[in-house]
Structure 1
């Protein structure tokens, strides 16, 4: 599509007169709420298991379904953004996605719960729209920083629910709206209603581009689709760079999700921490997204300014390799202070790698940012699914062996043996994953750009300098 709309060459966070800044904040808050609602049920799972009588298998299936729904939604939503614009796509995603979030508060059977978890997963596609919208609003000299910062808000929402949801539940109980057993239901309903209202805000207070909405620009003849400009989905799928970034994002965001989901038990089994202390450490790990992902985008932009698009790729490869090294070392540590040090280092590098990935994505094909963002974003969830299955299979076999070996012993001894077996299995799983991350780092070096694509990095810098 052809359009001469001006993109913001600076990220002025307090300049609310700028449509780019307003959109940045609204899409960031919307993304935060989507992830908050997506993972909102996690703090209440013990209550849900007790209330609905979920079996361990059903509990695990609910996690798989939530991730599966997101994969398909991300693949579809990217193409829809290219066609209809991010404003309408986000509006409908927020309003329709709120429905299963609300309905999960009314479920009465395990099957109903599983169905709601599947459809709630669709709201995870908000990541793709967020990246598309910020890519449209900001010029290439700052797009990596803008993308990474807005995305960090979403990941922050996925961790903040550990604090936020229990607070909402406590408020519900204190106002006498529900007892402790049913507070989780009201909390999910409230989260869904807030998402629905955010959809209305998104419709009225954002624009597709700095110059206006897709529909308005097309009506004025300023945003015209030509055969030359159109990029088919098959063309996107045939671009090897898209699939390298799919693998790369699986190796950073996918691994962050998996480590985040398994770290509580690992810290308890390996270092003998209480559940409360382990949970607080993992929460801190998630909250680092507020700045760590932004750093990845910032350094991606910085290397882009100095060394062009190749510089962005080199930084991405470097930070991925560092992520793999940090995880491999962490997997071998049994001394708590040293373990926390390397866990922080891993947290910093994995989130920076996510930001660096989406400092490269907007340059692969600017005529299909939505489709490419959708495929790469889906890679994160595929990575999370495969890594989780690896850890689950290794841990399950080890635990079963430990139980069989200690059959007839006291329950406490069996529990300790089971925990130790799980710790060793997950540790070896983390090491295997770290090797795959290093493979992704090497693979990313294969990303190349044509000469005309590389020149796109230069012009926005000239514009930015002219503004000073």
Structure 2
């Protein structure tokens, strides 16, 4: 990483649009927002896609799984590339190349083409890693957790804002004379164009570090040329703390992705809500990213400044345990009012846990923040993949049994039995996931830091990690 850190920002001044640190913060947050917007942009149109392409229920589930699977590989690779080439070039290429499958989704004609595009669109989910890397090297230790959490949280809003934004884009397209049933195709093309344009903005208006771009610093001899890059990456892979955080992020961000991806149907099946109302509820929980993830980073910094790096870890463990308890309680409720209380609490704690995770990540190995961010970020998608597989398998078995047992009772009775069976299966799945989150919380307590990794006094005058 970088040899000098004197120009790192020690405050997150949201009214500052001129300094390179804050300009980068705003641009990287917006880029992340657009990536999430495009990544899950097809979700509001799935009923139209199913009808247009003739997707089977299995193909629909597979598209959800593929959308998060592609991101795993991209996140693992992009972190190492950031360490070597810098976030500016990595984000530029990711946005420009990632825009291609987004736009191509508007031209698919078969289910297979749709599934392939969804897999490759998932690669733009690697934008999270670059965002965290870029803010980590722009902000000092006393504020880095808050900066990371805020940029990530506001970026994650794209995954909820598309529920409103994409239908609005479709409505505008229809107003220009496009048939309503194919408006989703034009909407995806427009989302891809936005990502492409954002790539150009990133290239021309950001820098890799407060001191300049990686290439410039290498020429001046102010940072290593990564001749020992492989050895550095090897040390990252051997660090048990990286893999603990991999599991932790699987237990928070991964679970958030899957729970919100299945929550619409669950609320309808469990509580009898109509699709629009259920969708609006899920959207409102996603919009909590405006502040909830920031809170996780903020309290991570607070505990870090007062209790050292161990304080960050303890806060992470506590908030992660609270997340698991809230989801488990929610899974057992049959009352809509009580269920909403626990679901709100789950939304708050899961997003705070995500922020708290990346208040710890920058301190594991200051020379390989990108590689570590990539591995930990990939953990989120592995968690989403495994949770989706669990819920899909439980739901498929339960629904098949319900159909078999209600044969001869009429189509309405069969559908009712399917609804009850699906709700019961997903409820049981949520409970199991909640228990797994508690295990991850206990494992997080095993993260230790050597005395040499701490410094007695920092910018805030309190115990914290030194920028190396």
Instruction: Tell me the TM-score normalised to structure 1 length.
Output: 0.96
Counterpart contact for 2:305–2:462, Cα < 8 Å: no
Partner of 1:221: 221
In the other structure, the counterpart of 1:253 is 253
> What's 1:401 paired with?
401
Map 1:42-191 → 2, pairs under 5 A: 42-176=43-177, 178-191=178-191
Alignment pair present for 1:326 and 2:334: no
Tell me how far apart the structure 1 counterparts of residues 457 and 52 of structure 2 sit (CA, whole Å). Answer: 59
Q: Secondary structure at the match of 1:400?
A: helix
User: What are the residue-to-residue correspondences of 1:222-237 with 2, within 5 Å?
Assistant: 222-225=222-225, 232-237=232-237
How far the C-alpha of 1:227 sits from its partner, in A, is 6.9
User: Displacement, 1:17?
Assistant: 2.1
For the 8 Å contact 2:253–2:380, the answer to whether it is kept is yes
Gaps of 5+ in 1: none
Query: More displaced, 51-60 or 296-305?
Result: 51-60
Q: Deviations over 1:172-210 (max 9, x none)?
A: 00122x110110011000000010000000001000001
Deviation at 1:454, TM superposition (A): 1.7
Cα distance in 1 between the residues matched to 2:395 and 2:364: 39
Larger mean CA deviation between 88-97 and 410-419 belongs to 410-419
Deviation of 1:230 (Å): 7.8
Distance of 1:435 and 1:58 partners within structure 2: 29
Cα distance in structure 1, aligned partners of 2:186 and 2:402: 40
Contact 2:87–2:208 (Cα < 8 Å) also in 1:
yes
Does the CA contact (< 8 Å) of 1:229 and 1:367 recur in 2? no
- Counterpart of 1:309 in structure 2 is 309
CA drift of 1:53 comes to 1.7
- Contact map agreement 2:361 2:373 (CA 8 A) in 1: yes
User: How big is each residue's C-alpha offset from its partner over 1:269-306, in whole Å with a ceiling of 9 and x where there is no partner?
Assistant: 11111111111111111111111000000000000011
Inter-CA distance 394–276: structure 2 relative to 1 (3 Å threshold): same
- SS of residue paired to 1:181: helix
Cα 1:252–1:227 change in 2 (3 A) is: same
Instruction: Tell me, in whole angstroms, the C-alpha distance in 2 between the residues paired with 1:231 and 1:142.
Output: 30
Q: Is the 8 A contact 1:305 1:458 kept in 2?
A: no
Tell me, in whole angstroms, the C-alpha distance in 1 between the residues paired with 2:270 and 2:118: 31
Q: 2:277 matched to which residue of 1?
A: 277
What's the CA shift string for 1:305-354, capped at 9, x where partnerless?
11000000000000001001111111111011111011000000000000
Residues 65 and 388 of structure 2 are in contact (CA less than 8 Å); yes or no, is this contact kept in structure 1? no
Structure 2 SS opposite 1:98: helix
Q: CA RMSD in A?
A: 1.6
- CA 230–339 in structure 1, closer or farther in 2 if over 3 Å, else same: same
Corresponding residue for residue 416 of structure 1? 416
- Indicate if the aligned counterparts of 1:38 and 1:124 stay in contact, CA closer than 8 A: yes
Aligned residues: 463
Cα distance change on mapping 1:431 and 1:66 into 2, 3 Å: same
The answer (yes or no) to whether the contact 1:9–1:463 under 8 Å persists in 2 is no
- How much has 1:415 moved relative to structure 2? 1.3
1:461 alignment partner, SS class: coil
Name 2:458's counterpart in structure 1: 459
Q: Is the 8 A contact 1:52 1:110 kept in 2?
A: yes
* Structure 2 alignment gaps of length 5 or more: 464-468
User: Which residue in the other structure is 2:379 paired with?
Assistant: 379
* Structure 1 CA distance for aligned equivalents of residues 242 and 371 of structure 2: 10
**Shift of the alpha carbon at 1:58?**
2.0
Q: State whether residues 230 and 367 of structure 1, in contact with CA within 8 Å, keep that contact through their aligned partners in structure 2.
A: no
